[in-house]
Amino acid sequence: MKIKSQKDFWSGLMFIATGLGFAAGASNYSFGTSARPGPGYFPFGLGILLAILGALVLFKSLTIETEGGDPVGAIPWKPLGLITLSVVVFGLALPKLGMVVSLPLLILIASLAGDEFRLKEVLINIVVLTLGSWAIFIKGLNLVIPLWPAFMTA
Touching other proteins, residues 56-85 (CB under 8 A): 56-57, 60, 70, 72-73, 75-76, 79-80, 83-84
Q: How deeply is 35 buried, as exposed, middle or buried, from its count of CB atoms within 10 A (0-12, 13-18, 19+)? A: exposed
Q: Which of residues 123-152 bind other proteins (CB under 8 A)?
A: 125, 129, 133, 137, 141-145
CA gap 69, 43 in Å, rounded? 34
3-state secondary structure of 71: coil
Q: Could you say whether residue 90 binds other proteins (CB under 8 A)?
A: yes
Min. distance of Cβ 94 from other proteins in angstroms? 6
Q: Could you say whether residue 87 binds other proteins (CB under 8 A)?
A: yes
Total chain residues near other proteins (CB under 8 A)? 71
Min. distance of Cβ 56 from other proteins in angstroms? 5
Q: Could you say whether residue 114 binds other proteins (CB under 8 A)?
A: yes
Q: Which is nearer to other proteins, 3 or 122 (CB)?
A: 122
CA gap 102, 113 in Å, rounded? 17
Min. distance of Cβ 138 from other proteins in angstroms? 9
Min. distance of Cβ 151 from other proteins in angstroms? 18
Min. distance of Cβ 24 from other proteins in angstroms? 11
Secondary structure letter of residue 36 according to DSSP: S
Q: Which is nearer to other proteins, 121 or 152 (CB)?
A: 121
